[in-house]
Chain A
Amino acid sequence: MSRLAIPKTYKLSIGGAFPRSESGRTYEVTTPKGAFLANAAQASRKDARDAVVAARAAQSGWAGATAYNRGQVLYRIAELLEGRREQFVEEIRSSEGVSAAAASAQVDRATDAWVWYAGWTDKYTQVAGSGNPVAGPYFNLSVPEPTGVVVVIAPQGAQGGSLLGFVNTVAPALVAGNTVVAIADETRPLSAITLAEVLATSDVPGGVVNVLTGSPAEIAPWLASHADVNALDLAGAGALEWIDLEIAAADTLKRVLSPEPGIPELSLGRILAFTETKTVWHTKSVL
């Protein structure tokens, strides 16, 4: 007789801890055919608020880490993903109803995405920055810097994307030193939560990535209007009232990426979307 398995409780990830929703609510996560998989925490606006506080608290530390260090931390995520691939394959297979091979391929791509973005931490500044030849005795440099706290609505229900969609939106936001509050794929959140557990055991400081599960339609408006959020990635918001979210974001002039169908590709553009260019002038003279 086989051993009775111990099912996992899927919780939120806020500030490096794994709380249940303060509201006490959960919702059923099922296979595409409706079989029960788990109860996920249904985040409330207060959970979202707590996540922003955690992200803000972690931001200066993450941005202040050297680019080399951030690169190693992101690369470490890939290493740990590799070690837990069986769990991710199983979660993707069951929640997306795809073959083990397809699930495995998705894990590969997600792992490689971390490697790709890890390599950008100490390069995007050189690619996007500039030394400016101004007409005067001034040293003048422009460098991109992180925007701050970024809210990501991960792709929702994208084919072959419950993990990859999450990674391909969260990872680019982290490269420059932003911290993230991410709303996972509502119906298939398991791999995102497992990834959060990986992050907690890697070297990613608590609060750098905060993961909320539940209804984007319910939580997103609170985050879009939150004054302490600097940017909004609406990648997975296509089915929401996303124009209203953009209008809400305009109140504090947040940087916004509009919805995008499917899974975003690897892109420098997504890194730079959450940066600000700072130009520094300094007088220059030998006298």
Chain B
Amino acid sequence: MNATALAPAERAVKLLGGDLTEKSLRLHLEGLSGVDAVGLESRAAGLGTRSIKTTSKAWALDRIIGLIDLTTLEGADTPGKVKSLVAKAVTPDATDPSTPRVAAVCVYGDMVGTAVEALGDLHGDPDDGKIAVAAVATAFPSGRASLRVKLADTEDAVAAGADEIDMVIDRGAFLAGSYGTVFEQIVAVKEACRRKDGSSASLKVILETGELNTYDNVRRASWLAILAGGDFIKTSTGKVQPAATLPVTLLMLQVVQEWHRLTGEKIGVKPAGGIRSSKDAIKYLVTVAETVGEEWLQPHLFRFGASTLLNDVLMQRQKMATGRYSGPDYVTVD
């Protein structure tokens, strides 16, 4: 273990004391209590069996929409595709004007400008009823590039108007035990999120839990991301299976809860990838409400990273409005 000094990220210094080193970080991460996988999974399964009221369900469906980062992350993305995504984000269901808007659109960095332009006046904070633009960055999804490239990637997106940066951690470094490397990169990316006017894009740190593999690793990586300054911790890129699962999300929420208990500070959580049905999404809402509490069910503290989820929610809304089951031809494909 080495005593190399790490960048003095504010949270880490507060929690671990003045001389932040590779060693002190490692000692903290390795000293975290373990996770029993069977117990975690059975707790998650238990939360998945809650039944919610019809009135709560209507509220839940609208809230799910309001928490979605509507996403397109394809090599084949074009300006046309992104415009279409934005249109869907703005008007998810043209047949029902009461349908809320999503929280954000999530695109590759080079599409940020297109998205910003397409949103026009509607570009802004979801708390104000507007739609944010999130960009994946740092050599998404693999994260295999030099720090210089990752920072440039981030700076470009922020300059183009991104409100939120979804960065990936260096899973290779994490698995090799180089926690300091992962930490410093997050700190540097966080710095790169800063705009000229002193404000900052919000930073979501993607752990890619499917590659970290074990729950103990997820727990450590969650702590690491929070200590380094992440505003959100996010499960997955969506490019690796398994992506978001309820147990992994529950575990990350537990870390967030512990952080809140210790510092009073609220960190966001974003499960991404694999959440396709309203029924599944409601299980996530229940899990959030029963761990960190209902106050987390707002765009600055919880998001769904999803593309197909939205249409399922819309069909459920239509069912609730009409009493009939809807079909895929009654929602738009974008």
Establish whether residues B214 and A283, one from each chain, have CB atoms under 8 Å apart when the complex forms.
Answer: no
Q: How many residues of A contact B (CB 8 A)?
A: 8
Chain A residues within an 8 Å CB radius of B37: 137, 283, 285-287
Chain B residues within an 8 Å CB radius of A284: 38
Q: Mark A262-287, 1 if CB is under 8 A from B, else 0.
A: 00000000000000000000011111
Nearest Cβ on chain A to B230's Cβ, whole angstroms: 23
Establish whether residues B39 and A283, one from each chain, have CB atoms under 8 Å apart when the complex forms.
Answer: yes
B140 at interface, CB cutoff 8 A: no
A36 at interface, CB cutoff 8 A: no
Chain A interface mostly helix, strand, loop or mixed?
Answer: loop
B207-229 contacts to A, CB under 8 A, are 213-215
B197 at interface, CB cutoff 8 A: no
A138 at interface, CB cutoff 8 A: yes
Chain B interface mostly helix, strand, loop or mixed?
Answer: helix
Chain A residues within an 8 Å CB radius of B329: none
Nearest Cβ on chain B to A286's Cβ, whole angstroms: 7
How far is A285 from B34 in the complex, measured between Cα atoms in Å? 13
Q: Mark A95-127, 1 if CB is under 8 A from B, else 0.
A: 000000000000000000000000000000000
How far is A68 from B262 in the complex, measured between Cα atoms in Å? 53
B36 at interface, CB cutoff 8 A: yes
Q: Mark B86-124, 1 if CB is under 8 A from A, else 0.
A: 000000000000000000000000000000000000000
Contact among B38, B213, B214 for A138, CB-based, below 8 A: B38
How far is A163 from B111 in the complex, measured between Cα atoms in Å? 96
Nearest Cβ on chain A to B244's Cβ, whole angstroms: 15
How far is A286 from B215 in the complex, measured between Cα atoms in Å? 9
Establish whether residues A137 and B214, one from each chain, have CB atoms under 8 Å apart when the complex forms.
Answer: no
Nearest Cβ on chain B to A213's Cβ, whole angstroms: 56
Closest partner residue, chain B, to A282 (CB atom):
B38
Contact among B36, B39, B41, B214 for A286, CB-based, below 8 A: B214
* 16 additional A-B residue pairs with CB within 8 Å, beyond A137-B38, A286-B214, A287-B37: A136-B38, A137-B37, A138-B38, A283-B36, A283-B37, A283-B38, A283-B39, A284-B38, A285-B36, A285-B37, A285-B38, A285-B41, A286-B37, A287-B213, A287-B214, A287-B215
Q: Which A residues contact B (CB, under 8 angstroms)?
A: 136-138, 283-287
Q: Which B residues contact A (CB, under 8 angstroms)?
A: 36-39, 41, 213-215
Closest 10 CB pairs of A and B: A285-B37, A283-B38, A287-B37, A137-B38, A287-B214, A287-B215, A285-B38, A283-B36, A283-B39, A284-B38
Can you pick out 19 interface pairs between chain A and chain B where the beta carbons lie within 8 Å of each other?
A: A136-B38, A137-B37, A137-B38, A138-B38, A283-B36, A283-B37, A283-B38, A283-B39, A284-B38, A285-B36, A285-B37, A285-B38, A285-B41, A286-B37, A286-B214, A287-B37, A287-B213, A287-B214, A287-B215
